[in-house]
Amino acid sequence: MVKFLINLFFVISMLFAPLKSFGAEPVKVTYIASIYFDSKGSGLKLPEGIACNEKLLLVADTGNNRLLRYIIENNAIKGGEEIKLPELSYPIRVQVNSRGEIFGIDSKQRRIARLNPEGALLGFIELKEMPSPEAFMPRSFKIGYADNIYVLDILSERVVIIDLEGKYQKQIEFPKNYGFFSDLAIDSKGGILLMDTVGSMVYRASKDSKSFSPVTGNLKEYANFPTGITTDNTGGIYLVDQNSGGILILGQDGSFQTRLLSFGWDEGFLNYPTQLCINGEGKMFITDRNNNRIQIFSLVK
């Protein structure tokens, strides 16, 4: 009898497992707040990059040539201290690792700066033992769970994985016939997702894979010019559609779920957004670039 029940339980769990993974509930977003200013009341200008966790929000305030650091505490955003360094004069991407260290890509010098949690420069990520280190053009990057740095290198058409000290781990070449990659994301299983802006497609390489393959078909029906990509903690994929001001939500299998938000100036609308990030508490932060602000939404399932 016990054996029968165990078998029955096993069969039922196997039957329901796919339903649980793919039958994603529709996601809605609720507008929470917008960030317009730093701690001294000075306005943001054309912010392009964003990084977040449960305690920290970092913004690449590109038009003001600086980073901004906000604290997330009791569901409120505080601070907005400026980090302004001549070595990071035009930041377009920002990331934070598990130690609280801050990383940023400088669009002008096209290298990755490493800062301590207080915002002092520790140096630049030096690429050690990497194949063709001279042919390196970082367009975007993300920090993985082991604090490894995943860099989208558009010059050598690859994603390079390096450790914190810049030591080369591995690289995966871009897939063939792609359009142009603008961003990448690391999912909860360690897989790498690539956002093909021109081809309107998402590619994935699972954790131990040596190549990328398409996760989606052509998304042109839903997105005009998607430039940013991230995932939530259940593996859902989120894209930001820059030219038409919207968010696309895909299931972890790449299936289209929904398109949210639209072009505009009022709060809750987007004007050429560039990137987004989602923290473990389900808060979504979007760089609403041409509206000079960061918008915060809550994901509701």
User: Which spans of this chain sit near another protein (rule: CB under 8 A)?
Assistant: 36-37, 43-44, 46, 63, 89-90, 107-108, 110, 135, 137, 139, 154-157, 179-180, 182, 197-198, 224-225, 243-244, 264-266, 290-293
Residue type, position 83, single letter: I
Q: Whole-number minimum distance, CB 296 to another protein, in Å?
A: 15
- The residue (of 42 and 53) whose beta carbon lies closer to another protein is 42
Identify the residue whose tokens are 């400026």: 82
Burial of 40 (0-12, 13-18, 19+ CB in 10 A): exposed
Q: Whole-number minimum distance, CB 292 to another protein, in Å?
A: 4
The DSSP bridge pattern shows strands 192-196 and 28-35 to be unpaired
CB 298 within 8 A of CB 29: yes
Backbone angles phi, psi at 240, to 5 degrees: -110, 125
CA–CA separation, 84 and 103 (whole Å): 13
Q: Whole-number minimum distance, CB 167 to another protein, in Å?
A: 24
- The residue (of 22 and 37) whose beta carbon lies closer to another protein is 37
Q: Which two tokens stand for residue 258?
A: 């929904």
Q: Whole-number minimum distance, CB 267 to another protein, in Å?
A: 8
Q: Whole-number minimum distance, CB 196 to another protein, in Å?
A: 11
- The residue (of 168 and 225) whose beta carbon lies closer to another protein is 225
- The residue (of 169 and 290) whose beta carbon lies closer to another protein is 290
Q: Whole-number minimum distance, CB 265 to another protein, in Å?
A: 4
- The residue (of 127 and 299) whose beta carbon lies closer to another protein is 127
Other C-beta atoms closer than 10 Å to the C-beta of 219 total 22
CA–CA separation, 165 and 182 (whole Å): 25
CA–CA separation, 221 and 8 (whole Å): 43
Of the chain, the end-to-end C-alpha distance in Å amounts to 39
Q: Whole-number minimum distance, CB 280 to another protein, in Å?
A: 28
Q: Whole-number minimum distance, CB 282 to another protein, in Å?
A: 26
Number of H helices, E strands in the chain: 1, 24
Q: Which of 270, 208, 211 is nearest to 239 (CA)?
A: 270
CA–CA separation, 19 and 6 (whole Å): 20
CA–CA separation, 51 and 95 (whole Å): 5
Other C-beta atoms closer than 10 Å to the C-beta of 121 total 15
Q: Bridge partners of 295?
A: 34, 286
